[in-house]
Structure 1
Amino acid sequence: MHFEQPHLLFLLIVLLPLALLLFAPRKAARNAFAPEVLKLLLQRTSTVPQWLRSALLLAAAALFIVALARPVVDHGEIKVQSSTIDLIVGFDISRSMFANDVYPSRLALAKRKFDALLGDINGTRIGVIGFSARAFMVSPLTEDFATLRYLVSNMNTDSISLRGTDLLQALQQTDTLLEGSDKKALLLFTDGGGGSDFDQEIAYARAHNIVVFLYNIGTEKGGVIPTEQGAMTDKHGDIVVVRRNDDVKALALQSGGAYLPYSLKHNDIKALADALKSCFTPRREKSDVIRDLQELFVWPLSAGVLLLLMALYSLPQRRRRHA
């Protein structure tokens, strides 16, 4: 056994002068206190003697100091091997992702689906990007899912002024972030944009070993894009209706990934998570060596609390009845 914080044991020295004061002869106490104060200090209010109460308090303080010093038993070293899958998640933040055919908007739904995804994809390092006519990084690869949730929920959408959905930008950003990986995983939350020909994106994904998993958000009926002046209109004054683009399905399937259209099911995103895990073999990382330490502080802490309660326990004496 040894102590993780052995320097704290020096606090035990502080208890020595305190013990001398508590157990000082009564003559010394008379010199230190006024008679009225001394009478109150020496007055017995319980069945526990004063000397025993002081001893219990000192012992409790000593045990608390020992607990702070963290006594541990070292059981040796343990080799831990960790394996992960690296994944980039891309959010389409073009204007069409604010259409109201999905409540409250397509982008808001994408954020909720991402939050659900984090609960189904343990053992994964995730990086996040946003894209419209250009792509930018929201978070590098990390296993800190709490931070990812915060960053995605507060994602800066200033670039929604850039019209259009350029999936090639997302692919290029993924290739940069996963540089050095033999096989790259990209999950896109998008409505597919307005294009119908994705040959360039498919060729790029194949050339750079990017496997695309795509969650297509929106409805076939489509919706309008709310603005401060009402529904968005085109240059002719007609209301713009944006629909889900199912042609983007070719990018996911021809890159070796999976495609899932929007649905009202709560656990539909789990299907994409399962498809991703079955497609990618976890990458084995180097072994980490950690020490197997058994903490023992709970024992002196518990004993100290028990002694403290005994010292503070007060049972009033019965008052003597005078005839």
Structure 2
Amino acid sequence: MIWQNSLYLWFLLIIPVLIGLTYWYNRRLDEKRKKYFGSKLLQKLRRGFWPWGKRIRHLSLYIGIALLILAAAGPKIGTEVREVKRQGVDLLIALDLSASMNAEDVKPSRLEKAKYEVSRLIEKLQGDRVGLVVFTGEAYLQSPMTMDYSALRLFLNIAETNQMPSSSTDFGAAMETAADAFDRGGKDGQSSKAAKVLLIISDGENHGADYDGALEQLKEENVSIYTLGLGTASGTRIPLYNDSGTLIGYKRGENGTEVKTRLQAEVLRSIASEGGGEYYEIRSGGSGIDAFLGQIDELQQGEFASQEYADFKNQYQWLVGFGLLFVIVGVTFPYYTADSS
């Protein structure tokens, strides 16, 4: 059980205060009665008085006030299931985790900038199903299609270049994994009317085999492929860090010279063109991801299967009802019997 307005629970302290004041008032009243009236006269004046009736009155009032305070605090118990219908597109983000994404020609690094922009994208989505593929020379489905954007952010935040067994880049592997993810999403109840979109975020350096076959498969499944490039044309070195995050040098090739990485915009532009999408670029600003979001809004929207949303159910109504009942009893309950006339 949780409370919607737990601060109201402090008002329960009123109950022991009322009990104390009532006890003190009755004691003083009894002392005054004994001072001015004898016991026999007092019994005649209070003929038919029922002490237990008065106690029941007071007790009912205390219980009623306590229940009304608890109701104001908003107790939530159990679960409430609601149906929520969503409309949007199926969006799969393929994030490059190769070593070159650690390059810092885009601050703080290509990868950190990509994760920041994807987080901004997720914040602006409404009703779209989103999944995450991470890839280097191999590709993995980090998060299947979901409308739980909080969970997706968790998967995005833990994406790092050192989690992958390979440090190279293979767009073919990313596309094949994306095709499987879209196929799996369709079996999970995807609307057939929803547009399917693949967004590849990379610096464009491809060290894998030919990806034409995988690209053709995505086109056959009516997947629109967009690309988002990170980096600069002039390029920079690839930093290497140890487990504690300290810079230990820069990546070197087989001949011992430092490897320089640069944005391969032509590769990403070609993929987007063949995939029926568009190429965007991010450097210091976020105009690329904003332009892509505008494109998403123009695509075919589909209605996904109803989603059941469970939440704590507010139970204050019962407490209000019983509280008012006890208050009424406390106000109207008789404490004089019929022979008091």
* TM class by smaller structure: 0.5 to 0.7
Q: Find 2:61's aligned residue among 29, 39, 56.
A: 56
What's the counterpart of residue 220 of structure 2? 207
Does 1:255 pair with 2:275?
Answer: yes
1:63-212 to 2 correspondences below 5 Å: 63=68, 81-155=85-159, 157-179=161-183, 180=186, 184-194=196-206, 199-200=212-213, 202-212=215-225
Q: Find 2:301's aligned residue among 277, 282, 289.
A: 282
Q: Is the 8 A contact 1:198 1:251 kept in 2?
A: no
Number of residue pairs aligned between Structure 1 and Structure 2: 261
Post-superposition offset of 1:102: 1.3
For structure 1, list consecutive stretches of 5 or more residues without a partner in the other structure. Answer: 1-22, 24-38, 71-77, 312-323
When the two structures are superposed, what TM-score results if normalisation uses the length of structure 2? 0.64
Q: Distance in 1 between matches of 2:172 and 2:153?
A: 25
Q: Find 1:297's aligned residue among 299, 316, 326.
A: 316
Structure 1 residues 82 and 146: CA distance shift in structure 2, 3 A: closer
Deviations 1:80-134 (A, max 9, x none): 6432311111110011111111112111111001100012221101111100101
Q: Is the 8 A contact 1:171 1:210 kept in 2?
A: no
For structure 2, list consecutive stretches of 5 or more residues without a partner in the other structure. Answer: 1-18, 31-53, 77-81, 242-247, 331-341
Structure 1 residues 81 and 101: CA distance shift in structure 2, 3 A: closer
Query: What is the identity, as a one-letter code, of the residue corresponding to 2:155?
Result: L
What's the counterpart of residue 10 of structure 1? none
Q: Is the 8 A contact 1:91 1:131 kept in 2?
A: yes
Q: Distance in 1 between matches of 2:235 and 2:319?
A: 67
Q: Is the 8 A contact 1:201 1:251 kept in 2?
A: no
Q: Distance in 1 between matches of 2:263 and 2:236?
A: 9
Helix, strand or coil: the match of 1:178?
helix
Query: What is the identity, as a one-letter code, of the residue corresponding to 1:149?
Result: R
Query: What is the identity, as a one-letter code, of the residue corresponding to 1:271?
Result: A
Q: Is the 8 A contact 1:175 1:184 kept in 2?
A: no
Structure 1 residues 230 and 157: CA distance shift in structure 2, 3 A: closer
Q: Distance in 2 between matches of 1:48 and 1:227?
A: 86
Post-superposition offset of 1:295: 7.0
Q: Distance in 2 between matches of 1:80 and 1:278?
A: 23
Q: Distance in 2 between matches of 1:267 and 1:53?
A: 69
What's the counterpart of residue 238 of structure 1? 257
1:208-223 to 2 correspondences below 5 Å: 208-223=221-236
What's the counterpart of residue 320 of structure 1? none
Greater share of helix: 2
Structure 1 residues 155 and 79: CA distance shift in structure 2, 3 A: closer
Structure 1 residues 102 and 88: CA distance shift in structure 2, 3 A: same
